[in-house]
C-alpha cells in the first residue's frame, strides 16, 4: 500500500491554502507532514507560504543531528543539571513571536533522533524549552519507495501529524516558472505536454528524471549555453533523463518549424533580409542552427541562409555555431567563401587552415 492511497492528495494551490490557514492561526494549528516525490516542490511550498505572510522560517534538518543535539547539552548549575537547547530552535526574542519551524527530510533522520522530537512536535516543548506560541510546525519528507535515505515513520510519531500527499501540478509550476523567467521553450513544452513535468521511477538504475526541480536545472543549462544544439540537449538529459530530453528536442524542432518558415527561406533566402525585429532575427538564427543539428537542412543551405541574415553580429554568431557543429570542414564549403565575400571579411574568432 503506497502513501497516496492512505492520505489525501493536494495540488500546489490546495497545499498553499492549507499552509496559509495553518500559519495564520497557530493557536489552532496541527503539526503538518507533507509527503511527495523528490523534487516536486514540497520545501518551496512551505518557504513560499511563510514568505507570503512575512513569517520567519527556521529549517532544522533532523537527519543531520544526533539525539543529544536536539535535546541539548547538560549544564551543571547549583548542584543540578539543566539542559541547554540547541540554538537552532526558535527564540521569540531573536526570531519573533510568530514563525514556522520546518522539519525538512524528517523521515531521513535516525529513528533515535526522530524519537527525540516526539515531545517537541506534540507538546511544543523539549525539556525546559518551549516553542513560542505563535510558531507552527511543518515537516516534509520523501516516501519510502522514492529511493531516498528514509526510515519508516514510527506510529507514535506519525500520529502526531496530519498528513497530506503533494501531487504534481503543471499549472501551478507554469505560473511560478513564468514569474521566474524560466526558458520559454520549457514553458511551452510543459504547457503542451504536462505529463513530462514529473516522471519518477523507483528503479535504482534511474538517476536523472524529470521533476519541477530538475526542469529548473535544464533551464540553467539552456541559459548557460545560449543555444539548442546536440550538446545542450545532452546536458539537459543529464538533468531530466534521456526520454524527457528527447521529447523536448522533438518538441523544439516541431515548434521551430511552425514558427520559422525554413522551406520558404530556402526557396527565397532574400526573405530573411526583410526581418527587422531583433527577437525574430534571433529566432531565425536558432531555427537554422537547430535544423542543421537535426539534419533537416545541410551545411550548404545553412551557410546560404547565414549569408542573408540582416544583422552582421547574428550572422557571425551563426557561423560560429556552425563551426562548432561541423569543425574546420566549414571552411571547405563553397558557400562559406560566398558568405565571406558577402560579409566583407573573415569570420570573427576563426582562423581557417592555411596550406604550407
3-state secondary structure at position 9: strand
* Residue 125 confidence (pLDDT): 84
Domain range annotation of the chain: 3-167, 171-258, 261-343
Q: Which fold has domain 3-167?
A: Rossmann fold (3.40.50)
User: For residue 10, what is its C-alpha cell?
Assistant: 493536494
Which residue has better confidence, 87 or 122? 122
Whether the Cβ atoms of residue 10 and residue 71 lie closer than 8 Å to each other:
no
* Residue 27 confidence (pLDDT): 84
CA atoms of 155 and 266, how far apart (whole Å): 68
Segment 5-26 mean pLDDT? 90
* Residue 356 confidence (pLDDT): 41
Whether the Cβ atoms of residue 22 and residue 67 lie closer than 8 Å to each other:
no
Which residue has better confidence, 82 or 118? 118
CA atoms of 102 and 136, how far apart (whole Å): 8
CA atoms of 4 and 155, how far apart (whole Å): 17
CA atoms of 213 and 209, how far apart (whole Å): 10
Residue 353 has pLDDT above 50, yes or no: no
Segment 251-265 mean pLDDT? 68
DSSP state, 6? T
**The pTM of the whole model exceeds 0.85:** no
CA-CA distances (angstroms) from residue 332 to 34, 117, 297, 300, 314?
61, 71, 18, 11, 22
Q: Which residues contact 290 (CB under 8 A, 6 or more apart)?
A: 228, 229, 252, 253, 256
Q: Is 80 exposed, middle or buried (0-12, 13-18, 19+ CB in 10 A)?
A: exposed
Cell 569543425 locates to: 327
Residue 349 has pLDDT above 70, yes or no: no
Q: CA torsion 94→95→98→102, rounded to 10°?
A: -140
What is the pLDDT confidence band of residue 146, given thresholds at 50, 70 and 90? low
Segment 38-57 mean pLDDT? 91
Per-residue pLDDT tens for 192-215? 999 999 886 655 566 788 988 899
* Residue 83 confidence (pLDDT): 64
Reading across the β-sheet that carries 32-35, which strands appear in turn? 9-10, 162-166, 32-35, 134-141, 98-104, 56-59
CA atoms of 241 and 238, how far apart (whole Å): 6
Q: Which of 224-238, 270-284, 328-342 is predicted least confidently?
A: 270-284
Residue 57 has pLDDT above 80, yes or no: yes
* Residue 342 confidence (pLDDT): 86
Per-residue pLDDT tens for 165-174? 998 888 888 9
Q: Provide the phi-psi class of 82: left if phi over 0, else alpha when psi is between -120 and 50, else beta.
A: beta
Segment 52-66 mean pLDDT? 87
Amino acid at each position: 500500500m503506497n502513501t497516496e492511497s492512505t492520505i489525501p492528495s493536494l495540488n500546489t494551490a490546495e497545499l498553499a491554502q492549507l499552509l496559509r490557514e495553518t500559519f495564520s492561526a497557530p493557536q489552532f494549528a496541527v503539526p503538518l507532514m507533507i509527503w511527495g516525490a523528490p523534487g516536486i516542490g514540497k520545501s518551496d511550498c512551505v518557504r513560499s507560504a511563510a514568505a507570503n505572510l512575512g513569517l520567519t522560517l527556521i529549517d532544522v534538518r533532523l537527519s543531520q543531528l544526533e539525539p543529544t543535539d536536539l535535546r541539548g547539552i547538560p549544564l551543571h548549575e547549583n548542584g543540578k543539571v539543566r539542559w541547554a537547547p540547541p540554538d537552532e530552535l526558535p527564540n521569540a526574542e531573536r526570531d519573533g513571536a510568530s514563525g514556522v519551524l520546518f522539519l525538512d527530510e524528517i523521515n531521513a533522520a535516525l529513528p533515535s533522533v526522530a524519537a527525540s522530537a516526539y515531545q517537541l512536535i506534540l507538546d511544543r516543548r523539549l525539556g525546559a524549552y518551549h516553542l513560542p506560541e505563535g510558531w507552527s510546525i511543518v515537516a516534509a519528507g520523501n516516501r519510502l519507495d522514492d529511493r531516498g535515505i528514509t526510515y519508516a515513520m514510527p506510529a507514535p510519531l506519525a500520529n502526531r501529524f496530519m498528513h497530506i500527499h503533494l501531487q504534481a501540478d503543471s499549472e501551478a509550476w507554469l505560473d511560478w516558472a513564468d514569474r521566474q523567467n524560466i526558458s520559454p521553450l520549457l514553458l511551452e513544452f510543459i504547457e503542451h505536454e504536462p505529463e513530462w513535468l514529473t516522471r519518477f521511477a523507483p528503479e535504482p538504475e534511474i538517476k536523472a528524471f524529470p521533476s519541477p526541480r530538475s526542469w529548473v536545472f535544464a533551464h540553467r543549462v539552456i541559459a548557460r549555453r545560449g543555444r539548442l544544439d546536440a550538446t545542450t540537449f545532452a546536458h539537459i538529459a543529464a538533468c531530466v533523463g534521456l526520454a524527457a530530453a528527447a521529447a523536448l528536442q522533438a518538441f523544439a524542432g516541431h515548434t521551430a518549424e511552425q514558427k520559422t518558415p525554413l522551406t520558404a527561406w530556402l526557396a527565397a533566402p532574400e526573405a530573411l533580409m526583410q526581418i527587422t525585429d531583433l527577437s525574430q532575427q534571433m529566432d531565425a538564427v536558432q531555427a537554422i542552427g537547430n535544423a542543421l543539428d537535426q539534419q533537416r537542412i545541410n551545411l550548404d543551405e545553412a551557410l546560404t541562409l547565414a549569408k542573408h541574415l540582416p544583422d552582421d553580429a547574428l550572422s557571425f554568431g551563426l557561423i560560429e555555431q556552425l563551426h562548432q557543429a561541423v569543425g574546420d570542414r566549414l571552411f571547405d564549403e563553397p558557400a562559406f567563401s560566398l558568405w565571406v565575400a558577402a560579409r566583407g571579411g573573415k569570420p570573427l574568432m576563426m582562423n581557417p587552415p592555411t596550406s604550407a
